[in-house]
Amino acid sequence: MEELFRSLEKRDVKLVLANPGPIVVDKFHASKFHEMIGEDRIFLTVEDAIVTSAPKMDLEP
């Protein structure tokens, strides 16, 4: 996940995670990945991720 995160950051792509299971959340906290990606980019539902991220997206071609 860290390698994916760094690769996307180099391309100016923001990684957002939605609907992680409890085991995944525990792993993120144990590895401190949540600190790297930012708590504000982890969402309990896909809808929350879209609603929060959509206004920040540049929709012009």
d(CA 51, CA 4): 23
Residues 42/15, Cβ–Cβ less than 8 Å: no
Domain 2-56 architecture = 2-Layer Sandwich (3.30)
On the question of pLDDT at 57 being above 90, the answer is no
pLDDT digits (tens, 9 = 90+) for 20-39: 999 998 998 999 998 999 98
Domain borders along the chain are 2-56
Average pLDDT (41-51) is 91
d(CA 2, CA 48): 23
